[in-house]
Copies of this chain bind each other. A is one copy, B any other.
Amino acid sequence: MPNSPALGLRDRKRLETRLRIETAAVEIVMTEGLDGATVDMISERAEISPRTFFNYFDSKEDAILGLQEMGEVQRAIAAGIGSSESDDLVSAIVSTMFEIVGPVAARTQLKAQRMLLVKEHPRLLSRQFHQFTQLNSTMSAAVVEFLTQRETTLPRDPEHVAEIAVAACIASVRIAVKEWVANGATAEIDTMYLRAIGLTRETLKVLQ
Task: Encode contact with B along A89-116: 1 for CB under 8 Å, 0 otherwise.
Answer: 1100000000000000000000000000
CB distance from A106 to the nearest CB of B (A): 21
List which A119-168 residues lie within 8 A (CB) of chain B.
122, 125-126, 129-130, 133-134, 147, 151, 155-157, 160-161, 163-168
Instruction: For residue A119, give the distance in angstroms from its CB to the closest CB of chain B.
Output: 14
Let me know if A168 and B206 touch, CB within 8 A: no
A interface, size bucket: 35 or more
Please name all residues of chain B whose beta carbon is closer than 8 Å to the beta carbon of A168 when the two chains form the complex: 164, 167-168, 171, 203, 207
Q: Does A118 contact B (CB under 8 A)?
A: no
A158-200 Cβ-contact flags toward B at 8 Å (1 or 0): 0011011111101110010000000000000000000000011
Chain B residues with CB under 8 A of A161: 199, 202-203, 206
Given contacts A165-B207, A207-B168, contact A130 B134 (CB under 8 A): no
A204 at the interface (CB under 8 A from B): yes
**A10 close to chain B: CB less than 8 A:** no
Least distance between A175 CB and chain B CB atoms (Å): 5
In the complex, per-residue mask of A78-93: 1 if CB is within 8 Å of any chain B CB, else 0: 0000000000011000
Q: A129-B130, A164-B175 are in contact. List 13 more A-B contacts (CB 8 A).
A: A129-B133, A151-B206, A156-B202, A160-B199, A160-B202, A161-B202, A163-B175, A164-B200, A165-B203, A165-B207, A166-B171, A167-B171, A200-B207
Q: State the A residues within 8 Å of B (CB).
A: 89-90, 122, 125-126, 129-130, 133-134, 147, 151, 155-157, 160-161, 163-168, 170-172, 175, 199-200, 202-208
